Amino acid sequence: MSENGNSTFEPALSEGMVGVIRCGGSEKLADYRAKGGYEGVKRVLEELPPAEVIEQVKEACIRGRGGAGFPAGVKWGFIPKEKKGPHYVCVNADESEPGTFGNRPIMEQRPHLLLEGTIICAYAVQAETAYIYIRGEYYDCIAQVQAAIDELYAAGLLGKRILNTDFSLDIHVHSGAGAYICGEETALLESIEGKRGYPRLRPPFPAIEGLYRRPTVINNVETLACVSLVFQKGVEWFKSIGTEKSPGPKVYSISGCVRKPGNYEAPLGVTLRDLLYEEKFGGGIRDGNKFKACTPGGTSVPMLFEDELGCVMDYEGPREYGTFLGSTGIVVMDETICMTWAALNLMHFYWDESCGQCTPCREGTGWMYKILTRLERGQGEPGEIELLENICKNIAGRSICALGEFATGSLVRTIPRFREEFQAHIDGKCCPFEKKYTEFA
Amino acid sequence: MTLQIHRKGEAARPSSAPLAQRKAIEIEKIMKKYPIRRSAVMDLLFLVQEEHPEGRITPEATEEIGEICEMTPAEVAQMITFYTMYHREPVGTHVFWVCGTLPCALSGADGLFEYLKEKLGVGLDEVTEDGLFTIKRMECLGACSEAPLVLAGKKMVTKLTRAKVDEMIDRLRGKKSIEDMT
Ligand SMILES: Cc1cc2nc3c(=O)[nH]c(=O)nc-3n(C[C@H](O)[C@H](O)[C@H](O)COP(=O)(O)O)c2cc1C
Ligand code: SF4
Ligand code: FES
């Protein structure tokens, strides 16, 4: 049992709404306000100078929920204090990491929880415009977030002189059009500027030269939802949940071979075993099968295996095993799943989504895709598994953004662990697994 | 072969008036969001694609958008080829975006692809003879817990079975709404 698996935990981000529910109606402004919503904005705008807001976000230690876990307050602190032109806030709602669907219910069901945090962030870094970059396929999210924005303008909580203070802010939705790479923060900026989503070389960092070459903060949807909670319920409340270095609640997305796939909110630091087996979460492996492997943080991070279920799921825990919490997208594979087949499926994704700017990523993903295809078809040659490992080593750290390294996530820990299984494809000249996925009923 | 397909609620052909006039109000609203005209290109591409009878962006439209957004036609074309949701080739009235990424593949996505192809008699990216359907393979659609699934136009239909696919296609063929399907 993890020390954080306490039963008193009350879901605050999702309020216990689990799974992906495309409800006709999301939480309306009046309902949100009745629960103390926008009290945070009111207090911030009327009582706290921007620097103090940043201090409190630092104190709450809100780790970026988009994947890297970087403290939001520290990031906001990088924005120049002296204003020489526009500043921007961009909300990363591109959510395209396979196995990750936790931002969706926040936008569909509680859009104001995101918008309140966005307003507080914009005030703290003195931005007058914020863009919410929502992936184009999320039609329901785009509709619900836009409807919530319209409510805010009508209520005087957006636009000129919000709540009769000197602070003015516009929030716009920018729809993506189907490109995973636009979730990378600088590609996202390029996309808003009307260009292909090619990640930028850093420095300069977005805090200095971001959108339209102006200082810009980019935060994930859930990060900003946490900001709302901190200013509604207080820093101490936030820190009372989760672990010391990773406080607060987290939405974990669980999919694949579990009995009850879905989104589950839990305190950061819950163990992987609890998430997979507890009845209130994943409910165990489906069909009574045995657990084989899972991705702890989306498919871009190295996998975890059976003897590693004790992993503490906060920003520190997975690092002990050489992997990361990432997007907390937990994709579960059971004993019937062939790891070569799984890696092949994922390599297709990264090969397809590589923007092609860097040779190691563009060519490397293509080579690995071809090798894995040969292996899975039983046409692999001796030495090709070692070749895969070699390519993995040579991509990491040699590309503009992290996608190149993400592409190796399904292999770096998996090959050493299941080397015989990979090798059997070559020796037996066919895939040793019979059934690789549940039948379509 | 040119297909004459009526898209929901749209005239058979977009009016021949230039885009800037035909969609003046919408364009104005989009432009207001941004400090530079180029930022409007993605919204404009969706606008044009949705009103086109074949659901695609033509070379003429590419030029018009370029003029409005202060981009060369080549720069606009680069956007169309980079982002998967834009089409230069004709698509059916209803596009089925089927997710094939690992979480869905673990729950029957491969079988769903086969069933759809067999039922509609087309391969990926092709248009059915009646002009109604196109199947496209999509990567993770962010609803993995409800696999296998399809984004049918703008409507996500999840936990698919053969029976559910049959119903969805029957309804669309009969020009009935699938809004209440989940
Ligand atoms: C290839 C790639 C894809 C990414 N996709 C997303 C995404 O879909 N959503 C997201 O919030 N962050 C994504 N990120 C991380 C962002 O670059 C960035 O770190 C994050 O938006 C910062 O917000 P946070 O500090 O609130 O987490 C991605 C990064 C890379 C390299
Ligand atoms: S690492 Fe890959 S996705 Fe990232 S910039 Fe280079 S080529 Fe593009
Ligand atoms: S893998 Fe299909 S929706 Fe995520």
Helix axes B59-69, B73-82, angle to 10 degrees: 110
Q: What is the pLDDT of residues A182-236, one digit of tens each?
A: 999 999 999 999 999 999 999 999 999 999 999 999 999 999 999 999 999 999 9
User: Both ends of chain B: CA-CA distance in Å?
Assistant: 35
Q: Do A255 and B144 touch (CB under 8 A)?
A: yes
pTM of the model: 0.95
What region, left, alpha or beta, does residue A99 occupy, with left being phi > 0 and alpha being psi -120 to 50 degrees? left
**Angle between the A359-376 and A384-395 helix axes, to the nearest 10 degrees?**
160
CA A325 remoteness from chain centre: 9
First-to-last C-alpha distance (Å) of chain A: 37
Given this model, what pLDDT does residue A436 score? Answer: 59
pLDDT confidence of residue B133: 98
Ligand 1 atom at minimum distance from A221 CA: 11
Structure tokens at B137: 């393979």
Q: Any idea which residue has 């999840």 for tokens?
A: B158
* Cβ neighbours of residue A18 closer than 8 Å, sequence gap 6 or more: A262, A263, A264, A265
Which pLDDT score is estimated for B59?
Answer: 97
Q: What is the DSSP letter of A159?
A: B
Q: What is the pLDDT of residues B69-123, one digit of tens each?
A: 999 999 999 999 999 999 999 999 999 999 999 999 999 999 999 999 999 999 9
Q: For residue B79, list chain A residues with Cβ-Cβ distance below 8 A.
A: 194-196
pLDDT at A437: 61
Tokens representing A373 are: 């295809």
Q: Which residues contact A40 (CB under 8 A, 6 or more apart)?
A: A116, A120, A228, A230, A231, A232
What is d(CA B35, CA B33) in angstroms, rounded to the nearest whole number? 7
Contacts of A263 in chain B (CB under 8 A): 145
Q: What is the ipTM of this complex?
A: 0.94
CA of A365 relative to ligand 2 center, distance in Å: 10
Query: Quick one: average pLDDT of A418-436?
Result: 92
Ligand 3 proximity of B101 Cβ (cutoff 6 Å): yes
Nearest to A436 by CA among A361, A333, A331: A333
Residues A313-357 pLDDT 10s: 999 999 999 999 999 999 999 999 999 999 999 999 999 999 999
pLDDT, tens digit (0-9, with 9 covering 90-100), for A266-282: 999 999 999 999 999 99
**What is the Cα–Cα distance from A213 to A26, expressed in whole angstroms?**
35
How many other CB atoms are there within 10 angstroms of residue A417's CB atom?
17
Give the model's pLDDT for residue A179.
Answer: 97
Judge contact between A220 and A64, C-beta under 8 A: yes
A182 lines ligand 2 (CB under 6 A): no
Using pLDDT thresholds of 50, 70 and 90, give the confidence band for residue B17.
confident
Please report, for residues A115, A233, A237, B122, the alpha-carbon distance to residue A228 in angstroms, rounded to integers and kept in the order given: 8, 8, 12, 49
Give the Å distances, CA to CA, from A82 to A50, A76, A78, A143, B93.
Answer: 12, 14, 11, 36, 53
Rounded to the nearest angstrom, the distance between the alpha carbon of A378 and the centre of ligand 2 is 30
Burial A218-252 (b: 16+ CB within 10 A, else e): bbbbbbbbbbbbbbbbebeebbebbbeebbbbbbb
Strands (E), A155-248: 170-175, 216-220
User: Is the C-beta atom of A90 inside 6 A of ligand 1?
Assistant: no
Q: Is the pLDDT of residue A7 over 60?
A: no
**A404 CB near ligand 1 (under 6 Å):** no
Contact B15/A at CB under 8 A: no
- pLDDT, tens only, A158-188: 999 999 999 999 999 999 999 999 999 999 9
* For testing contact with chain A, the best of B140, B162, B164 (most A CBs within 10 A): B140
pLDDT of B2 higher than 80: no
CA A21 to mean position of chain CA atoms: 19
**Domains in chain B with CATH codes:** 3-82 (1.10.10.1590), 94-173 (3.40.30.10)
Strands A88-93 and A129-134 come out as parallel
Strand partners, A266: A250
